[in-house]
Amino acid sequence: MSMSQHSILIIDDEENLYDYLEFSLRDDDVKVYSSRTGQEALEIAKKVLPDLVLLDVMLPGMDGFEICKNMRSNLLLADIPVVMITALDDHDSRLYGFQVGVDEFLSKPVDQIELRTRIQTILRLNRYRKSLEERTFFAETLESKNKQLKDLAQHLIEIQETERRFVAAELHDYMGQMLTGLKLMIEMAESQTGDGLIKTLENAKKTITELSVRTRNLSLDLRPAMLDDFGLFAALEWLFERYSLQTKIKIIHQQRFTNDRRFTRAIETAAFRIIQESLTNVARYAHVDEVEVDIVVNDELQIRIIDHGRGFDMDVEKSGQSFPHSNGLSGMRERATLLGGSITITSQPGVGTTVQAIFNIKDYSL
């Protein structure tokens, strides 16, 4: 059945109505189904979800009223228009029909012109109703997505502010103190001579060297230049070497760092940050000697960081409470989501933690 084709289900133990409709509606792109019993009709209705049901009152077994009651109690069938064809002309029968959910009545013998006109009117109204429902659904979906984007944007702003506070604290607390100390040394040196002067200058040189190293490390932590210049894999080679040197944790990986494949800057940055943040969490909380990093590249960029350390209770995350791995990785989740990717975290106390990130790169490789 084509997307624009209507469907009608006729429930009647006589074939005359079916033969007439199938013939008279064949040029209107209408598919006609038929059933002679109530139970069979309900099964067909659930399968094809017709746009209209023509229903006879007098049927063997389940009568038309009972069929209509069954339809209205089923979520799939509840909104389908029902026209009842009946020879019953009394007021009580029609009132009961409306009570069980009949939309319209046609009296026997059926006037064929009236029948066809009614069918075409109901089908047009039903199509209009469905169109309105689809518009409402899409409008609600769009509103929901816009709200999600606003929430993501707000969360990213909060993450940026957190990073800025960290940099500000680093500059003010550590580097500010070192610069203050350096200033005092210079002032002391102005009034010194001989060995005292030499010692003060040596201390000043050490402070300058330490300050240079700290500044360089802060710059690299914020964004290593090689990520922009040489890509993700070169930056990871530097990160792994530096990480193992600083933490004494061995990184096990199968990735060939000779791979010069590039991705968009956004994906390379997000992938690098996810691995960096995950390794930081391993060093802080896992209490392990080694960590495994798996990277697979095909139509997707798949990343897994696996440790067999302390782990944590996943129910804490599900309950909405904070837990050790949440602060940085929650921001990574937002970045991944904006790029059409995903991050999943699985953990178990005493077993370890796995962070998995997936990015679709089929249309984003450079």
Whole-number pLDDT of residue 322: 45
Q: Which fold has domain 6-110?
A: Rossmann fold (3.40.50)
Give me the residues paired with residue 358 across strands: 302, 342
CATH superfamily of 225-360: Histidine kinase-like ATPase, C-terminal domain (3.30.565.10)
pLDDT digits (tens, 9 = 90+) for 212-266: 777 766 766 666 677 877 888 888 888 898 889 889 999 998 776 556 778 888 8
pLDDT tens figures, 137-155: 777 877 887 777 777 666 6
Q: Residue 321: its pLDDT value, please?
A: 46
* Rounded average pLDDT over 1-30: 72
Average pLDDT for the chain:
80
Highest mean predicted confidence (pLDDT) among 82-91, 276-285, 326-335: 276-285
How many CB atoms lie under 10 A from the CB of residue 278?
A: 29
- Residues ≥6 apart with Cβ < 8 Å to 12: 18, 34, 36, 54, 55, 56, 59, 85
Whether the predicted pLDDT of 26 surpasses 90: no
Which one-letter DSSP state was computed for residue 365?
A: B
Considering only CA atoms, which of 176, 191, 185 is closest in space to residue 203? 185
| Percent of the chain with pLDDT strictly greater than 90 | 14
Among 66-75, 83-92, 205-214, 314-323, the range with the most confident prediction by mean pLDDT is: 66-75
pLDDT for position 331: 67
